[in-house]
A = this chain, B = another copy of it.
Amino acid sequence: MAAKKPSSVARHPIGVVSSRTGLPLDVLRAWERRYAAVVPTRTDTGRRLYSDLDVERLRALRVAVDQGRRISDVASLSLAKLQALQQEDEASRARSRRIARRRPKAEPAEYVTRGFAAVESLDRDQLVRVLEEAEVALDRLSLYADVLVPLLRRIGECWREGTLRIVNEHVATDVFRGFLARHVAPPDAPTDRPRLIVTTAAGQLHELGALLVAATARDHGWEPAYLGPNLPAEEIAAGVERYGARALALSLVYPVVDPRLDAELENLRHYVGSEFPIFVGGDAARAHAETLKAIRARYVASLADLGPALAGVAA
A interface, CB within 8 angstroms of B: 1-7, 10-13, 15-16, 18-22, 55, 59, 62-63, 66-70, 73, 83-85, 87-89, 91-93, 95-99, 101, 121-122, 124-125, 128, 165-167, 170-171, 173-174, 177-178, 181, 185, 188-191, 225-229, 231-232, 234-236, 238-239, 241-244, 270-271, 273-276
Q: Is the interface of A mostly helix, strand, loop or mixed?
A: helix
Q: For residue A188, which residues in chain B have a CB less than 8 angstroms away from its CB?
A: 98, 125
Known: A4-B273, A13-B68, A19-B67. 4 other contacts (CB 8 A): A5-B271, A98-B188, A122-B242, A181-B181
Q: For residue A235, which residues in chain B have a CB less than 8 angstroms away from its CB?
A: 165-167
Name the residue of chain B whose CB is nearest to the CB of A100: B22
Taking a contact as CB atoms under 8 Å apart, the answer to whether A166 and B243 are in contact is no
Instruction: Knowing A13-B70, A16-B68 are in contact, say whether A1-B166 is a contact too (CB < 8 A).
Output: no
Taking a contact as CB atoms under 8 Å apart, the answer to whether B185 and A124 are in contact is yes
Taking a contact as CB atoms under 8 Å apart, the answer to whether A67 and B16 are in contact is yes
**Can you name 12 A-B residue pairings with CB atoms under 8 Å?**
A2-B274, A3-B274, A4-B273, A6-B271, A16-B68, A18-B68, A19-B67, A20-B96, A124-B185, A165-B238, A166-B232, A174-B226
Q: For residue A12, which residues in chain B have a CB less than 8 angstroms away from its CB?
A: 69
Instruction: Knowing A173-B228, A243-B122 are in contact, say whether A93-B19 is a contact too (CB < 8 A).
Output: yes
Instruction: Knowing A99-B62, A101-B66 are in contact, say whether A20-B89 is a contact too (CB < 8 A).
Output: yes
How far apart are the CA atoms of A95 and B190 in the complex, in Å?
A: 8
Q: For residue A55, which residues in chain B have a CB less than 8 angstroms away from its CB?
A: 92
How far apart are the CA atoms of A211 and B206 in the complex, in Å?
A: 20
Choose among A4, A185, A242 the residue with the greatest number of B CB atoms under 10 Å from its CB. A242
Taking a contact as CB atoms under 8 Å apart, the answer to whether B2 and A273 are in contact is yes
How far apart are the CA atoms of A4 and B226 in the complex, in Å?
A: 23
Taking a contact as CB atoms under 8 Å apart, the answer to whether B170 and A93 are in contact is no
